[in-house]
C-alpha cells in the first residue's frame, strides 16, 4: 500500500497505481476508499474498450425504490458470478 501511495504522490494521474491501490484497499476491507481507487481502471488503456457508454447514471448504493438497475458483465464471467450475490442486496434496496 505504501508503495502505491508513494507512486501516486510522484505521479498523481497514474491510473495503474490508483487501480492497484484500490485492490489492496478492497482486500484490506476499506471498501469506500478501495472502490474509489478502483474506478481508475477506466483510465487504463486496456480497460477503455470494456467501458460502456451508458446513458443513465451509475448506482452508488443509494435507495432506489421503483427504479431499474442494469447489472452487466464488465471483466469476465468469473467476476460476474462473484458479483451475482449482490443482486439480492440491490433488490432489498428497491431496485427492480
- All 3 cell numbers of residue 86? 449482490
How far from chain centre, in Å, is Cα 56?
Answer: 16
> pLDDT by residue (tens digit) across 22-60?
999 999 999 999 999 999 998 998 887 777 777 878 777
Distance CA 17, CA 23 (A): 10
Distance CA 47, CA 72 (A): 15
- All 3 cell numbers of residue 19? 487501480
The pLDDT of residue 84: 83
| pLDDT at residue 4 greater than cutoff 80 | yes
> pLDDT by residue (tens digit) across 50-77?
777 778 787 777 777 888 888 777 777 8
3-state class (DSSP) for residue 88: helix
Whether the model pTM is above 0.75: no
Amino acid at each position: 500500500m505504501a508503495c502505491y501511495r508513494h507512486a501516486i504522490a510522484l505521479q498523481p494521474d497514474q491510473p495503474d497505481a490508483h487501480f492497484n491501490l484500490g485492490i489492496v484497499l478492497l482486500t484490506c476491507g476499506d471498501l469506500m476508499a478501495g472502490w474509489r481507487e478502483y474506478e481508475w481502471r477506466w483510465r487504463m488503456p486496456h480497460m477503455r474498450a470494456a467501458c460502456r457508454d451508458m446513458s443513465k447514471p451509475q448506482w452508488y448504493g443509494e435507495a432506489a425504490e421503483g427504479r431499474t438497475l442494469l447489472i452487466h458483465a464488465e471483466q469476465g464471467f468469473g467476476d460476474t458470478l462473484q458479483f451475482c450475490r449482490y443482486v439480492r442486496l440491490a433488490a432489498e434496496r428497491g431496485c427492480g
